Structure 1
């Protein structure tokens, strides 16, 4: 009997320990599904490659890693903190961005119906609109890759470029938008709120970046970096050149009915938005809660006397990578913190200011 009693007591103690351990694990696993919609997220920061995400991870932790099926094998986890701010990394380029965002948006781990999405990445920048390190909030996302292209050595007489919209007859015509992803307009109220919160932030800079921008004999190329508002152009082909830059400016005007102003060039944003758009059609996200911030890591065209090849092949010599990455956090965090600190004002939509 004594042995049985001891065994019984031991069994009860083990059961109690197991229950305690299980409860502790349940408590620690704060991002397990709390209901059929998953764990609510207030802000989802979307980066495209490691350093863009790391700058957030370095500042806003501690973090819990949440593995999501279908994300990039290089970045399989979403990291979330106690403020319900999460950071994910898609992988670079259109295909990676679209696939990763679809995996995130349709995961059962998260409730994204009231989530604000902050796409934050580095980009090339037009020296007529900004400089190395400048951080630009966009209102329009334009795809530079969905065009017809003629060999530049064989363009028709009178044409300034070999690019033209698909199913058009000249470079100045707006195409019929058959792809449905050529141009997107973001919520301007959110873009304006983000700009208002960050416009006076002092941005990071470097001596190397200062030397690089001093080679341009006009502003804002040779000014210090600042938070600005202008639009972003997506395309998987990295490019450099004054004539290509002129096409980027004009293409943005054509696609936005003269309302947009081109200033940054990157690869992913139209793909990211289209994936979110499809999730929105299933009532999983709210497209009015998408903000896009791109910081200039290098100039998209050469300074006077420099070749386009030198500008592209030696872009790292401009010294913009470090400041551009740092400025994603410096310019983006005011919006993130305002949302989580004043969630009662943001939960139902962008508050009036």
Structure 2
């Protein structure tokens, strides 16, 4: 009798719980927001890449644990979901794959808002800029050697055969054009510290106020710095037939490859980056001095830039969600 009374009490609740989970419909995701890191908590402290998104979209959402993802996923009632993916190619792309393959989510019509901070060459961008990637390129898929061992087209890089289909992706030009139409005139925040720091550089683009623009986003697992590496990034961009190199970051090419494999398309991918540093020092400092600045000699503008990213990306996210009838089946023609 004792065994019969214990058996149903122990097993029935588990059985019902499993059935409930199995029968629950997946969350229909309209826009997925992927950031790379958060400094502390998702709200209430110094903001990293995800905090402003969290406070706008997910403050009342419950975390959804996904096996294999770096952090929980949050979803609101309007079909916007988001997560902190982890920094670098492996951490971020493995998180995206785990989320995409998880049956709790229906991402068959999802737009991917992949965003974070970045560096920019002073000849083309400045601190506080927000840019939409027109191309994403993997900086690492090739051969490199020491300059003393000879140059190839004036560079120490040569692409390796076999990577042609994954080393670069042109993101949907119509989607990028829509992003500029919706957000191109957005007023961006700036800081006094960034304004002073810009004046160290002679370039007109480095000295100007921040704005929204487009260009090639270059993905590398190393934080490459210096005019030589910057020229190499531009060389690779032009070698692959892409737009001018505008941003150096660590994730989007790998994430785009995962999306291409699992979704069969990259037509709904956004790469959104805000520039928090220059990819090289000014003419009066060495690359090492730029990498290891004296106290009080950093660029400034980080807080304003991460807020700019969420502001610009949020405008596009809200536009898609509020016009879902015309966006759910694909990117509308731009009129």
TM-score bucket of the superposed structures, by smaller chain: 0.7 to 0.9
Cross-structure match for 1:309 = 288
Larger of the two Rg values belongs to structure: 1
Residue 64 of structure 1, aligned match among 62, 65, 80: 62
Query: 3-state SS of the aligned residue for 1:317?
Result: coil
The residue matched to 2:206 in structure 1 has which SS? coil
- Per the alignment, residue 214 of structure 2 pairs with 229
- 2:158 equivalent to 1:164: yes
1:276 aligns with 2:293: no
Q: Which runs of 5+ in 1 are unaligned?
A: 1-21, 23-28, 167-175
Asked whether the 8 Å contact 1:33–1:108 carries over to 2, the reply is no
**Within 5 A, what are the aligned runs for 1:114-133?**
114-133=109-128
Q: Equivalents in 1 of 2:269, 2:181: separation in Å?
A: 16
Superposition deviation, residue 157 in structure 1: 6.2
Query: 1:32, 1:55 → 2: CA distance?
Result: 33
In the TM superposition, residue 335 of structure 1 has moved relative to its aligned partner by 0.6
CA 1:273–1:218: 2 relative to 1, 3 Å: same
1:178 CA displacement: 2.9
For 1:209, the equivalent position in structure 2 comes to 194
Residue 212 of structure 1 contacts residue 319 of structure 1 at CA under 8 Å; is this kept in 2? yes
Shift of 1:349: 1.1
Q: TM-score, normalized by length of structure 1? A: 0.82
Measured in 2, the distance between the counterparts of 1:158 and 1:119 equals: 34
Let me know the Cα RMSD of the aligned residues: 2.1
TM-score (ref. length: structure 2): 0.86
**Secondary structure, in 3 states, of the residue corresponding to 1:297?**
strand
After TM superposition, list the pairs within 5 Å mapping 1:89-108 onto structure 2: 89-108=84-103
Contact 1:135 1:225 in 2 (8 A): yes
CA distance in 1, matches of 2:120, 2:304: 13
Task: Name the counterpart of 2:234.
Answer: 249
Rounded to whole Å, the distance in 1 between the matches of 2:153 and 2:125 is 28
Q: Does 1:142 align with 2:122?
A: no
Q: How many residues are paired up?
A: 305
